[in-house]
Amino acid sequence: MKLIVLLAAATIAGPFAISQGAPQRLHQMIAHVSLTADSIQRDISQARYTPVIQLKGDVEIVKPLCASAGAGGGLLCEEEMVLHADEAEYREDTGEITPQGNVHVSFRKMK
């Protein structure tokens, strides 16, 4: 009887264990800035809103680089900055990024 229960448990748990794979990456867009990481958190321990977003694990932040398009007040966005880091803090109110660990910054034409 123990062997049947063990085989039944292995049959049920087997496919579940195989399908676990890598953890799901999280993604959030904030004012045209793309935030991607294994963990994205905002400190909600305070009673008031906090603009700091904490990103951990294979962080990627993609932010457009824009310039004034002239007297009409429009913006021209042709390139974007791509930041990769182990961890980072993103300040939603100022756009300031504080990366930590292995950090790499590159620039590319906007998609």
Q: Are 60 and 36 in contact (CB under 8 A)?
A: yes
Kindly state whether residue 15 falls inside one of the protein's structural domains. no
Q: Across the strands, what pairs with 98?
A: 89
Name which residue leads in pLDDT, 64 or 73.
Answer: 64
Kindly state whether residue 49 falls inside one of the protein's structural domains. yes
Give every CB contact of residue 95 below 8 A, 6+ residues apart in sequence. Answer: 33, 63
How much is the pLDDT for 49?
77
Residue 55: domain span: 23-109
What gap in Å lies between CA 43 and CA 29, rounded to an integer?
18
Token pair for residue 42? 């905002």
Q: Write out pLDDT tens, residues 88-110.
A: 999 999 999 999 999 999 999 98
Kindly state whether residue 104 falls inside one of the protein's structural domains. yes
Token pair for residue 82? 């791509």
Kindly state whether residue 77 falls inside one of the protein's structural domains. yes
Our count of domains for the chain comes to 1
Kindly state whether residue 69 falls inside one of the protein's structural domains. yes
Q: Write out pLDDT tens, residues 12-64.
A: 443 333 445 566 899 999 989 999 999 999 877 776 778 899 999 999 999 99
Between β-strands 52-68 and 75-91, what pairing exists: parallel, antiparallel or unpaired?
antiparallel
Kindly state whether residue 102 falls inside one of the protein's structural domains. yes
What number of other Cβ atoms are within 10 A of residue 75's Cβ?
10
16 SS3 class: helix
Q: Kindly report the pTM of this predicted structure.
A: 0.73
What gap in Å lies between CA 86 and CA 7, rounded to an integer?
42
